[in-house]
Structure 1
């Protein structure tokens, strides 16, 4: 081993002790989420293994969560075992909310053939599920792990929901690719959003970390594809419709219709201007 290599390894060893947090592995976090989904919604089955009994799976998930929390133990307000117990006490409530989300998708998307399809293949439902699990852990003062879980879902689906966002009942994300929902976003009940929607901040500054930076979306709002709504003081009133490609940084009243106005010209080409194409065989 060269002197440079030895010096570099010593540096890494020293640096290791300086990290504020120790974290579980990302593959372990992903396995926990996917097994949790199989427990709650046993629609799909792994071809390579025999399904475990539900009580076995439940106990295994308890052990997995304790394991995920152990590296963070110094930064927890309670023991990993206590947090795990409290999380699983809230799991029935999370499940009930997810059923409402699944029905919102099945009832509103004409392409959905039933709850089974929504649960098995819809990226919006998968990401909402991971968000609701991660959000519950965040409420139990678990640092970083909730973000690991939602970023795992982000990588799987292209939908980025921060676990700190507050999202009401019967939430519907259609298609979903490119959706971004920021940390301090508040979303009411029965909200529908489409692909490419951003609920973000007007600017990024570290000094804003503890302030509301993202918009509030009230009940029964529909936000169509590629709309961008920014700012902590921006409120979209209930029962409003935000059209596609809208850029919104000010509040709108309830029952508003907001749309982006553009002009598309369609003209018939003159046949005389079309030159014949000669094919050589």
Structure 2
């Protein structure tokens, strides 16, 4: 981002905050959730609001907002990329930069379970709600749904996510649910990435809310992916996870998962925004080529 564009962004936020709503109203909305290749290819950028700033070996990679925006704008400009997931601050920057025309925009909703905190599993809804997503003219909302059988905070998260699914459905907006079976160990919350855990998590997530008509799942790659995805008929997107040094192995796993009938695309963040070698365009193009 050049200095002039950066200054324009700051000036709009300081002097014309209504410019954000104006940009949202003018945004050209997509005619379908799926791109011409028949899949949904999304870039995720909701990590900073949860305090998860690391990407690979860089502990504060996502802490430079201008750099992050440059990477996002580049990724969203690549052919075949038709969606983005983010919190209000990120999506509003992208609106002001004019980067969201024809994109499927999903607002991230619960970011209160800050990474590495003692209250991480008490995942409060601190960002978008369904009404704000509808008012902005976006296509849906996403919620992280971590289920720890030994943590009483889980039930509050489940209730909040169920309410959000129902609220989004009332607006006929997509509800993207990202479920995990999670456990606190050595002061950290760890997600259980096994087929058994994902069968359980997917089954629970699919039943949240008063209807599943607008619910999609956001799921990680695990061994025996076929078993994990057989737990429900809901559409699903594969999430990218952490930055991996062996990107070819990662791409191969995504391609294998994309062959499953319920898998409708990819939602990838740091793996494409901060790839080994730092060639964002090449990493994004390779991922699109798997669809």
TM-score above 0.5, yes or no: no
Query: Which protein shows a greater Rg?
Result: 1
**TM-score of the superposition, structure 1-length normalised?**
0.28
Q: Which has the higher contact order (CA 8 A, sep 6+)?
A: 2
Q: Quick check: which one's strand share is greater?
A: 2
